[in-house]
Amino acid sequence: MPHVRVKICGVTTPADARQAAEAGADAVGLNFYPKSPRYLTPQPAAAIVRGLPAFTAPVGVFVGMALRQVCAAAYQLGLRGVQTYDESPPDDDPFPFAHVPAFRVKDAAGLDHIRRYVAAATDRGRPPAAVLVDSYVEGELGGTGHKAPWHLLAGFDPGVPLILAGGLTPANVAEAITLVRPWGVDVASGVESAPGRKDPAKVAAFVRAAKAAAEPARPARPS
């Protein structure tokens, strides 16, 4: 299957971000949701972005903010993409930022909602760059450690790239990729030693497992 992108979300220090990049992560997530244990204010977030290698994308996670405000913050910090939680497509244009709406899914109705969202955004001429599917936990927005419903997501095509999140770990990400076949995977709590503190060994193991799962099987050499 094609290359699977990896985002290490909820990084809180420049050191954690650099370690994720060195391990092979394609993106790191910076959380601007005040209720999250991984919450960042602009000053430490800027320090993280400044320390990233050139081809590792910083992505901001925002909750309850108008897209216009989200894009203003992204511009000030030099973010590449923005992840938001919206019930319907925003009226504002996110360009030049890659917009990734996130959805907490617990049943088939959640998948129908994603399809309608993508169709409505496309009709407006602003399809999302990708959609992120996370697990549904009452009152929580991401980073819960609970798995998304992989059985529902197997074969699901929202019409744009699919990023799988929710309960992923170094031990199960290969299985998730094999079953769901996402464009990318996103992990936060599954590679931490404590909330907001990444474990370098777990991060490296997660990236290796995700990349290996996407590689085509090599034919055995004749003996």
Enclosing H/E stretch for 190: none
Q: Please tell me which residue in 16, 26, 71, 134 is annotated as part of the active site.
A: 134
CA distance 1 to 213: 9
For 23, the 3-state DSSP assignment is helix
HEC string of 71-128 equals: HHHHHHHCCCEEEECCCCCCCCCCCCCEEEEEEEECCHHHHHHHHHHHHHHHHCCCCC
**Residue 107 is a catalytic residue:** no
Task: Show Cβ contacts of residue 110 under 8 Å, excluding neighbours closer than 6 positions.
Answer: 103, 104, 136, 152
**Residue 9 is a catalytic residue:** yes
Enclosing H/E stretch for 70: helix 67-77
Task: Indicate which residues carry an active-site annotation.
Answer: 9, 134
